[in-house]
């Protein structure tokens, strides 16, 4: 699977959970790897690119969670 497609899937997963459930990095790795049949290292690399680009951020509320940054 291409990395751009994988990044899109990860972003959509986080977007769907916004306001319902906070996702941890491990939740995303497990779900995307199982659903798409790709290696967790590929998912982690795509997630890291989304973080570096500022499309997703880590937040901390008693644990680290992945979220979409707030709009200004």
Closest among 63, 64, 49 to 11, alpha carbons compared: 49
Digit-coded pLDDT (tens) for 10-69: 999 999 999 999 999 999 999 999 999 999 999 999 999 999 999 999 999 888 999 999
Pick the more confident residue, 56 or 72.
56
Phi and psi, residue 2, nearest 5°: -70, 150
Structural contact between residues 61 and 22, judged by C-beta atoms closer than 8 angstroms: yes
Structural contact between residues 14 and 56, judged by C-beta atoms closer than 8 angstroms: yes
- Kindly list the domain boundaries of the chain, sorted by start residue: 3-67
**Residues 6 or more apart from 27 whose CB is under 8 A from it?**
none
**CATH number of the domain located at residue range(s) 3-67 in this protein:** 1.10.10.10
């Amino acid at each position: 699977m291409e990395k751009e497609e994988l990044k899109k899937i990860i972003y959509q997963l986080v977007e769907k959970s916004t306001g319902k459930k906070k996702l941890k990095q491990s939740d995303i790795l497990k779900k995307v790897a199982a659903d798409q049949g790709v290696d967790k290292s590929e998912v982690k690399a795509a997630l890291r690119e989304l973080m570096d680009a500022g499309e997703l951020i880590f937040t901390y509320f008693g644990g680290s969670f992945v979220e979409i940054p707030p709009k200004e």
